[in-house]
Amino acid sequence: MGVYILRRLLLIVPTLIGIMLLNFVIVQAAPGGPIEQLVAEMEGMGGGSLERATGGGGMEVSEGGESRGAKGLPPELLKEIETLYGFDKPPHERFLKMLGDYATFDFGESFYRDRTVIELIIDKLPVSISLGLWSTLLIYLISIPLGIKKAVTDGSRFDVWTSSVIIVGYAIPGFLFAILLIVLFAGGSYWDWFPLRGLTSPNFDELNWYEKIGDYFWHLALPVTANVIGGFATLTLLTKNSFLDEIGKQYVVTARAKGLEERRILYGHVFRNAMLIVIASLPGLLVSLFFTGSLLIEVIFSLDGLGLLGFEAALNRDYPVIFGTLYIFTLMGLVLKLISDLTYVLVDPRIDFESREG
């Protein structure tokens, strides 16, 4: 197992480089970078008039990193702007320098926030962790028992009614549930029971420790509920189908013929095998809930997390923040996938990844 872990850790490096290279090329090819925005503002037209300021297509960046366009500005000033943003070097040199810096988790400074990227990530991380961890915990606590119950009572009235609820949860995105929850419980049109924005109250520092805990969960209640409603359906159906598949196998029939109790068969034999596929879905669920899935939830509830940070950076062409958050997201996803494989072995020691890959 040690050789397998080492091999997977070594594979993280080329995977990160490949993903960063692909996104570097895409971002560099996109028009309307930070230089164009600054030039537009200096010409008195503002960031919103960027298209007019650059002749309709934005100021292009040549292979050597030199900007073409904005003819009204002196070439010396353009050179200074390119140096300010690091575009005075060829793309391949900028990419290699970026890789060297990222190896030591030096992501540089944001173009617009006057803070280092690592400071921004550390500042926003607690919000995304709060949403992701509590949502994941509740989704698993609901989906696994519900999926097992549906598998055991397959075809019953309970199975049919819960399937109807699951279909609704699967069909409607989480952010629509978030809007519905705001309308119902956050002062929209009915009750004003929960706060609409932020992770804590303005007077949070003045509260006692138990009041702080209550205030924290009070603010998390609606966004986490929206995440859970939008995310439990897939895992519930996955659990049900996995258990149904295992229940029909020969070793279950043999165990029943030996007179073992149904509960012991279900949780002593079926559970270990059926949970493998559920465990395999954990990394994707965590990454989705931590970042992509929580993006709109963070916007709707004014929660300043990593998803919102990356989205705003993409809009503003804040390249250090874009690549810094992308690097962190990718690295966490790869590490979570490795942890998932290790959990496979803990659940079922018969699995041997080394022999399979060898």
CATH of the domain at 134: 1.10.3720.10
Res. 171 pLDDT band, cuts 50 70 90: confident
Region of 59 on the Ramachandran plot (φ > 0 left; ψ -120 to 50 alpha; else beta): beta
Same-domain status, 78 and 139: no
Do 242 and 334 sit in the same domain of this protein? yes
Chain centroid, CA 211 distance in Å: 30
CB-based contact 198:246 (threshold 8 Å): no
Q: What is the pLDDT of residue 112?
A: 80
Beta-carbon contacts of 263 under 8 Å, excluding residues fewer than 6 positions away, are none
Rounded to 5°, angle at Cα 187 from 183 and 190 = 65
Same domain membership, residue 143 and residue 61 = no
What is the per-residue pLDDT for 73? 60
- Which segment of 36-45, 162-171, 201-210, 219-228 scores lowest on mean pLDDT? 36-45
Q: Which of 82, 104, 126 is the last residue of a domain?
A: 104
Q: In this predicted model, which residue has the larger pLDDT, 309 or 86?
A: 309
List C-alpha distances in Å: 74 to 39, 62, 83, 350: 11, 18, 15, 70
Do 131 and 63 have their domain in common?
A: no
The mean pLDDT of the chain is: 77
Give the rounded percent of residues in the chain with a pLDDT score beyond 90: 0
CA gap 118, 107 in Å, rounded: 6
Q: Is 280:130 a contact under the CB 8 Å cutoff?
A: no
Structural domain contains residue 194: yes
Domain that holds residue 293: 118-357
252 and 126: one domain? yes
Same domain flag for 88 and 139: no
Torsion sign over Cα 319, 320, 323, 329: negative
CA distance 165 to 1: 42
Specify if 113 maps to a domain. no
Indicate the pLDDT class of residue 277, thresholds 50, 70 and 90: confident
Q: Is the pLDDT of residue 62 over 50?
A: no
Examine the fold and report which residue of 43, 74, 104 is the final residue of a domain before the chain moves on.
104
pLDDT-derived band at 24 (thresholds 50, 70, 90) equals confident
Supply the pLDDT for residue 356.
Answer: 54
Listed in sequence order, the DSSP H helices in the chain are 2-29, 34-42, 50-53, 75-84, 91-103, 117-152, 157-171, 174-185, 209-247, 250-257, 262-265, 271-280, 282-287, 295-300, 306-316, 319-347, 353-357
DSSP track, 6-32: HHHHHHHHHHHHHHHHHHHHHHHHSS-
Q: What is the pLDDT of residues 103-156, one digit of tens each?
A: 888 888 888 888 888 888 888 888 888 888 888 888 888 888 898 889 888 888
- The model's pTM is 0.70
Q: How many domains does the chain have?
A: 2
CA 102 to chain centre: 20
Angstrom CA distances, 241 to 140, 146, 246, 281, stand at 16, 12, 9, 14
Contacting residues for 242 by C-beta, under 8 A, at least 6 apart: 147, 274, 275, 276, 277, 278
Question: Which is it for the CA torsion 125, 130, 131, 134, positive or negative?
Answer: positive
